[in-house]
Structure 1
Amino acid sequence: MSIEPSPPPAWKTAPQGQTFYPSATIRCDGPAVFRSQFARDVACLLDVDDAITEWRCQPLPFSDGQEFYRPDFVAKVGNDIIVIDAATDDTPLWIEGAVRADGHQYEAVRRAELPLIRLKNAKDLLRYGNFQTGLEDRVRLLAALDEHGTLTLAECLSVFRETRPIAGMASMVLNRFIDIDLDEALIGPESTVRRRRG
């Protein structure tokens, strides 16, 4: 199942010229347009969610027969489509029923529910989302992980020759070549790095 594109209406987008940190996205298919920093933070978590293969901003319009509303995101998880909202007091109460009636799952994310450590790690990684790790560095690091099983982040940094070390590491995490824990603590020199399998 594909995620059908649709341009967001002007009233649902951020004011012209307004941007939200960080600017890079990894699995966003289409324009990255956010109506708030809260929505941008939710999108950061989508990019580091292993279950999500791609996502779009505000692509699906829904109606209760009187008004139209576009949720913040739609994400592809396997063969399923999940509609995701950065829910606020302005989110219409009817939207969940409308999404489910259309055959999709609906998830409302509240600001208080955001996993703060994971979010900070995701935003730190996405700061380097526009970098690409050089082939030589990528092969060298994967070979080292094959040999040792795991390495600390500090040990991995010494492998890089072509790419800025932190940028290279972040790119490899975001592009799912390697794994690093995002939930227990902020990424640091002692963080354990593993090769991604499967």
Structure 2
Amino acid sequence: MRRALSILARSIAIFVPVFLVATFVTFALRALSGLSPASIQLGESATPEAIAQIEHQWGLDRPFLTQYFDWFGDMLSGDLGKSWYNGADISRLLAEGAVISLSVAGLALAIGVVFGFGFGILAALRRTTWVDRAITGFMTVVSVMPPFVVGIALVGVFAVGLGWFPSAGYPPAERGSARGWRTSRCPRSR
């Protein structure tokens, strides 16, 4: 228990300064860049008055340190603000992304366990035969490949080649996974 608390304390002691420096540098780079998020959102045809109005509304006309400390205080209270790109609530965007990431990770874990268990049993039943060597060799090659290469290969086979899954995007949860995959998959190339 004491060791776990020591590791937790050490992790927090590393995380806090890194977080503070990273967020401060991000704010500083935005301020030093001279780019205005308001002009990016409003587009090239925006008037200086409209840009100034949005910057005032978002508090970007205040001093840099005031902006940072206001954001930091809001962040500590759970308010992560709104996206400058589309005005959506950042907390909601992060929650939606977490749901998608967890569902994909859960599905990948389930597939890995089922196939790993199946191939492991098959290799054990056919020990020292060509089946065992083929499974062991294939699993070794796949395990040492970078994940993005395996991912591209899986997309190429199951989404593009077989047309079983969509090659990009994620079906909304209210459509249901299987129905979302069926309706959003790519047509099979002929």
**Do both proteins adopt the same fold according to a TM-score greater than 0.5, normalized to the shorter chain?**
no
Which protein has the bigger strand share? 1
Q: Which has the larger radius of gyration?
A: 2
TM-score, scaled to structure 1:
0.28
Structure richer in helix, relative to its length: 2
TM-score by length of 2: 0.29
